[in-house]
Amino acid sequence: MNPVDHLAAALKAVDWEKNIAEFLKHARAPSTIAAANLRLALWSKEFEQIEKGNPALSFIRSMQAAGHQVAALLSLGLYNAAAGSIRQVFESALYYTYFRRHPAELATLVTSSTYYATKQEVIDYHKLHSSKFSECEKKLGLVAKLGDWYKSTSAVVHGQIPGTWISHKGLAEISFHRGTLEVAVSQFELGEELVHHLFLCTSGREVWHDVSTSAKKKLVSGLSGDVKTTLKLDTA
């Protein structure tokens, strides 16, 4: 049997349908992932309409696509691979909040391989230039939660702890693993919440007066009255 035949046999040995079926039977995973992606889609729709023509919207589309990949990979049992997409959801959102107002830098990002904006540089930018960012993010605990979440997600992405989110020894053994799934889903859930709070403290808050009434009501759902007052988020 040649190498390609070995690969084909291993791939065919995996019961991909069963993996998806077990995932869909999980009490929390499907609903959590669906709700997170729905809120990302809601933000995406509003930004696409409000900032139509802004080239930085490519980051918003990347954010949505990464969320879709998370759903697909976790349902197939490819937990470790999903970590990169989980982090991409947040990073795409973060870069959008910066590059939407910096077209020259965005053009440089596209044309020069030496230009790169770090996560900390974007956060520092918001601290200096986004109105009431520090006050708003502290109310939500955004920066405090972000550090640990980003570090733990990146550790999986970079393989800093070998075997993390991997529950099989060989390709043919890829299967549903409840414990690993639950850890990954929780990581995605928190990451999406960080994106939501990031938008509420930056770009979303800046265009809030143009957000549709129906979207406003959904986006502030679950926020306390105190938070809504501090962030000045009306629902009318």
Please write the tens of the pLDDT for every residue from 96-145. 999 999 999 999 999 999 999 999 999 999 999 999 999 999 999 999 99
> Does residue 43 surpass a pLDDT of 90?
yes
**Could you report the per-residue pLDDT of 149-179, keeping only the tens digit for each?**
999 999 999 999 889 999 999 999 999 999 9
What was the pLDDT predicted at 148? 97
198 in any annotated domain: yes
Number of domains within the chain: 1
Compute the distance between CA of residue 90 and CA of residue 161 in angstroms, rounded to an integer.
Answer: 22
235 in any annotated domain: no
The residue segments making up the domain with residue 11 are 3-230
